[in-house]
């Protein structure tokens, strides 16, 4: 892939205004407290850099999926407060995106000041990649910086259409975006070996393409979570009521065979924590993968699988992890994911975690500081691993030199 245009190479004119597309799509509780501000903290390097260059910054982001215009619970106001606390300076906020209030706030913004617009998706044009909407956003800043890795796999107005209004001297990728791309690329191109991929989560379908793309590049593949049962079924096991994607049994078998052909060691669970229902007060028992009772489902990997997976991870030099090992949201079925998180965290390997759920597991397990890199974008990080070109990244690549 060609190199990205970098914010570091921008020659800002005096008192310039910079429009920064951030990813402030953070989780909040019912009181609208931000429960995880990692995405806000990750944007700070780029914001600080632009401010230190003497610019004023206009920040924009989406939050959740508003249905029709403004929704109080999806306003970015709590983000402006948290950002202000993190930066220890004022962050102006307008409950507006492209209306008069926003325009006025931008016009009166002085050098060194920060303005946050409200949720971009309150405007229909954002997800439609609408050129007129993008043009209005582009009128706010002489420079455009994209630091929103989490949405780069979407051709949305503030990510894709907007870049058409800037030449290569006036648009660039922020530091977070550059870091995300660099980590994913190094992982695929130059992994230290053994390179182990650990995948889990609910569905094979969501990760099928990534698995196909990864297989020729890795040394070991560890499969846990709900998706493992489609593989176990493909091997002829009785999996009770466990999660199954019947239409993917063939694909699962192909992956297992391809692994053999390529000499990739593939590990599947050998036991599970099974329960008749997926709830905290359900009865549960430890069973081998071959003895899941009729009507029961496997909801976490069992202790023998933890030992097996840990042993397989033991000599890894690079580990990529995407997808929990069980229904970690329910305490009873969280243990397997936590123990694998600890094992990955303790490994001396370069460890890269992708996916919101997996980042959440690592956080809850208290392992965040021990992981080399935790991607801020679930879907986007998966698409990079699948080898796809992200629409938001493609438009920020340097032109090919003759
Ligand atoms: P994904 O979005 O495909 O990465 O899936 C994440 C979800 O998979 C989490 O919400 C987990 O609760 C769920 N999950 C993990 N293991 C299982 C399992 N054995 N059965 C059902 N769901 C699972």
Predicted confidence (pLDDT) at residue 363 exceeds the cutoff of 90: yes
pLDDT digits (tens, 9 = 90+) for 84-129: 999 999 999 999 999 999 999 999 999 999 999 999 999 999 999 9
Taking alpha carbons only, the member of 214, 205, 184, 220 closest to residue 315 is 220
For domain 183-385, give its CATH number from 3.40.50.280, 1.25.40.10, 3.40.50.1260, 3.40.309.10: 3.40.50.1260
Atom of ligand 1 nearest to the CA of 322: 4
> Annotated binding residue at 225?
no
Please state the atom number of ligand 1 nearest to the C-alpha of residue 229: 19
- 161 closest CA partner among 131, 120, 132, 141: 131
Is-contact 43 23, C-beta < 8 A? yes
Q: What is the per-residue pLDDT across 25-60, written as a single tens digit (0 to 9) for each?
A: 998 988 999 988 999 999 999 999 999 999 999 999
* Ligand 1 lined by 210 (C-beta under 6 Å): no
Cα 329 to averaged position of ligand 1 atoms, centre (Å):
9
Q: Would the CB of 357 count as within 6 Å of ligand 1?
A: yes
Cα–Cα distances (Å) from 146 to 43, 81, 151, 347, 374, in that order, read 10, 22, 10, 33, 19
200 as an active site residue: the answer is no
What kind of fold does domain 7-175 have according to CATH?
A: Rossmann fold (3.40.50)
Contact between residue 151 and residue 392 where contact means Cβ atoms under 8 Å apart: yes
As a whole-number percent, the residues of the chain with pLDDT over 90 amount to: 90
Whether residue 285 is predicted with pLDDT greater than 80 in this model: the reply is yes
Cα–Cα distances (Å) from 247 to 205, 250, 251, in that order, read 10, 7, 8
- Taking the mean position of all CA atoms in its chain, how far away is CA 311? 27
**Across 342-368, average pLDDT:** 94
Work out the number of other CB atoms within 10 angstroms of the CB of residue 44: 16
Identify the pLDDT of residue 186: 87
Query: Residue 402 pLDDT > 60, yes or no?
Result: no
Q: What is the Cα–Cα distance from 311 to 158, expressed in whole angstroms?
A: 45
Rounded Cα distance, 305 and 270, in Å = 5
Q: How far apart are CA 347 and CA 317, in angstroms?
A: 8
Work out which ligand 1 atom sits closest to the CA atom of 224: 16
72 marked as part of a ligand binding site: no
Q: Which residue of 226, 300, 302, 341 sits with most ligand 1 atoms within 8 Å of its CB, as the best mutation to test the pocket?
A: 226
Q: Which range among 117-121, 216-220, 289-293, 386-390 shows the weakest confidence by mean pLDDT?
A: 386-390
Ligand 1 neighbour 125 (Cβ under 6 A): no
CATH 3.40.50.1260 domain locations along the chain: 7-175, 183-385
Given 323, 326, 356, 377, the catalytic residue: 356
Residues sharing a CB contact under 8 Å with residue 344, sequence separation 6 or more, in sequence order: 198, 313, 319, 321, 351, 353, 367, 371
- Say if residue 298 carries a ligand binding annotation: yes
The verdict on whether 258 is a catalytic residue reads no
Task: Reply yes or no on whether 233 is catalytic.
Answer: no
| DSSP 3-state of 2 | coil
Q: Is the pLDDT of residue 286 over 80?
A: yes
């Amino acid at each position: 892939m060609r190199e990205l245009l970098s914010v570091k190479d921008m020659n800002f004119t005096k008192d310039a205004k910079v429009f920064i597309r951030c990813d402030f799509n953070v989780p909040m509780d019912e009181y609208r407290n931000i429960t995880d501000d990692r995405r806000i903290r990750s944007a700070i390097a780029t914001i600080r850099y632009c401010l230190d260059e003497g610019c004023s910054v206009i920040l924009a982001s989406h939050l959740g999926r508003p249905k029709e215009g403004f929704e109080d619970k999806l306003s970015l106001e709590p983000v402006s407060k948290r950002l202000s606390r993190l930066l220890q300076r004022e962050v102006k906020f307008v409950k507006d995106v492209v209306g008069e209030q926003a325009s006025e706030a931008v016009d009166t913004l002085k050098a060194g000041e920060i303005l946050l617009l409200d949720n971009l998706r309150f405007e229909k044009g954002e997800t439609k990649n609408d050129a007129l909407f993008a043009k209005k956003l582009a009128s706010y800043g002489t420079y455009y910086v994209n630091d929103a890795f989490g949405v780069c796999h979407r051709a949305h107005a503030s990510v894709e259409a907007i870049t058409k209004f800037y030449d290569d001297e006036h648009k660039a990728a922020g530091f977070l975006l550059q870091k995300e791309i660099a980590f994913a690329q190094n992982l695929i191109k130059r992994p230290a070996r053994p390179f182990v991929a650990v995948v889990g989560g609910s569905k094979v379908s969501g990760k099928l393409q990534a698995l196909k793309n990864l297989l020729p590049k890795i040394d070991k593949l560890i499969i846990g979570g709900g998706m493992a049962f489609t593989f176990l079924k493909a091997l002829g096991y009785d999996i009770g009521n466990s999660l199954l994607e019947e239409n993917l049994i063939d694909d699962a078998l192909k992956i297992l065979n391809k692994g053999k052909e390529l000499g990739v060691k593939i590990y599947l669970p050998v036991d599970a924590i099974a329960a008749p229902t997926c709830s905290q007060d359900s009865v549960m028992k430890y069973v081998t993968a071959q003895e899941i009772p009729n009507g029961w489902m496997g909801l976490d990997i069992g202790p023998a699988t933890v030992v097996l997976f840990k042993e397989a991870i033991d000599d890894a030099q690079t580990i990529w992890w995407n997808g929990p090992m069980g229904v970690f949201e329910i305490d009873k079925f969280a243990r397997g994911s936590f123990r694998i998180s600890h094992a990955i965290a303790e490994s001396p390997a370069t460890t890269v975690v992708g996916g919101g759920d997996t980042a959440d597991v690592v956080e809850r397990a208290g392992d965040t500081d021990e992981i080399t890199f935790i991607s801020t974008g679930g879907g986007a990080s998966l698409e990079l691993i699948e080898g796809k070109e992200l629409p938001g990244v493609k438009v920020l690549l340097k032109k090919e030199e003759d």
